[in-house]
Amino acid sequence: MPYLADAQFPKSLMFVSGLELWQWVNQAKTEARSSDIPLAEIDWLLQELAGLDRLALRLESFKDLPKIELKLSLSELAQLWQRRLQERVPVQYLTGVAHWRHFSLKVTPAVLIPRPETELLIDLAVEAVKSYGVNPKSHWVDLGTGSGAIAIGLASALTNARVYAVDCSSEALAVARLNAENLGLESRINFYQGSWWEPLAFLKGRVSGMVSNPPYIPSSTVLTLQPEVLKHEPHLALDGGFDGLECIRHLVETAPDYLESGGVWLVEMMAGQAEAVADMLDSHGSYCDVQIFSDLAGIDRFALAYRL
């Protein structure tokens, strides 16, 4: 069976009894425990595919329902679950949906599954606008947009901004465009295929904010990642070259040509990279007020600076 996201949903929905589904859930929980997969992932599957809410899943109250609508048959659900167990396919690729901030985003294996820590980039951008008087109205860019998560977050939070989203992958851009359309934000975001700033020459000197979650994992570390990431997420989204910093270094070098004075440079990075990134920004000569912010786990995760 392909990813659910690739499959056509059947024209008529499938029905199972609450008891049948509950029995399947119990078996799936046993399998999850022995495969070291969080039990919450079964809930995610059923929230998407059976329309059950978290409370019904936690209290198992769905067990008493005479019939539950599924988006696929019970045997297809079991097949999807086997792909999770055996091939270690992330559940978001199986359902085709990832929840990020208050958005439901389509995801396919062409895009990185947007991570919870990345959500904070939007708050940092909003804070920069409020506290440092960065222009909220003009041009903001999301370089390496993937699913479009950051561009969508910026367009939604900075209601007067125009957002320019770039990715070198045409497949990723197709997903990002669809997400923007589904959320009614397509008129606020322009999408470009190309490498980093290269398609945005017309914005030189006029950008208020650059936000990016570039590939930042050292090439040799990529090969050691858990199978969910290594086997299923796009390497183009992960591999940051020999020291993991190749893309970030490029963004430090190139952004000054595009940012207006006072414009913000904001990037996500990996644990252990903060000092090197702060040094690059400090020693470049085009930035001021270099700051490092941590994520909710206390890891130094974001670097922010302003164009002099």
Binding residues: 144-148, 167, 196, 213-216
Q: How far apart are CA 229 and CA 237, in angstroms?
A: 10
- Residue 44 half-sphere exposure, CB side, CA atoms within 13 Å? 19
Contact indicator for 106, 179 with CB cutoff of 8 Å: yes
**In the complex, least distance from residue 78 CB atom to ligand SAM, rounded to whole angstroms:** 30
Cβ proximity to ligand SAM, 213 vs 273, nearer residue: 213
**In the complex, least distance from residue 48 CB atom to ligand SAM, rounded to whole angstroms:** 19
Detail the residues annotated as belonging to a binding site for S-adenosyl-L-methionine: 144-148, 167, 196, 213
Cβ proximity to ligand SAM, 145 vs 208, nearer residue: 145
Distances (CA, A) of 205 to 73, 106, 140, 154, 254: 55, 33, 12, 20, 11
Cβ proximity to ligand SAM, 81 vs 197, nearer residue: 197
**In the complex, least distance from residue 120 CB atom to ligand SAM, rounded to whole angstroms:** 11
Residue 108: CB partners within 8 Å, gap ≥ 6? 3, 5, 6, 93, 96, 171, 175
Cβ proximity to ligand SAM, 222 vs 290, nearer residue: 222
**In the complex, least distance from residue 87 CB atom to ligand SAM, rounded to whole angstroms:** 22
Cβ proximity to ligand SAM, 25 vs 141, nearer residue: 141
Q: How far apart are CA 262 and CA 191, in angstroms?
A: 25
Alpha helices in 183-245 (DSSP H): 219-222, 227-232
Dihedral of CA atoms 193, 194, 195, 196 in degrees, nearest 10, equals -50
Q: How far apart are CA 195 and CA 198, in angstroms?
A: 5
**In the complex, least distance from residue 188 CB atom to ligand SAM, rounded to whole angstroms:** 17
Q: Which residues in 132-171 contact ligand SAM (CB under 6 A)?
A: 144-147, 149-150, 166-169
Q: How many residues does the chain have?
A: 308
Look at residues 270, 254, 269, 250 and name the one whose alpha carbon lies nearest to residue 307: 254
Cβ proximity to ligand SAM, 94 vs 120, nearer residue: 120
Contact indicator for 240, 218 with CB cutoff of 8 Å: yes
Detail the residues annotated as belonging to a binding site for substrate: 213-216
**Does 244 interact with ligand SAM (rule: CB under 6 A)?**
no
Count residues contacting ligand SAM (CB under 6 A)?
A: 21
Q: Which residues in 171-230 contact ligand SAM (CB under 6 A)?
A: 172, 195-196, 213-215
- Residue 120 half-sphere exposure, CB side, CA atoms within 13 Å? 18
- With CB under 6 A as the contact rule, the residue among 126, 157, 236, 308 that binds ligand SAM is 236
- Write the binding mask 107 to 136 for ligand SAM: x where contact by CB under 6 A, - elsewhere: -----x-x---x------------------
Instruction: Give me the residues that bind ligand SAM (CB under 6 A), please.
Output: 112, 114, 118, 144-147, 149-150, 166-169, 172, 195-196, 213-215, 236-237
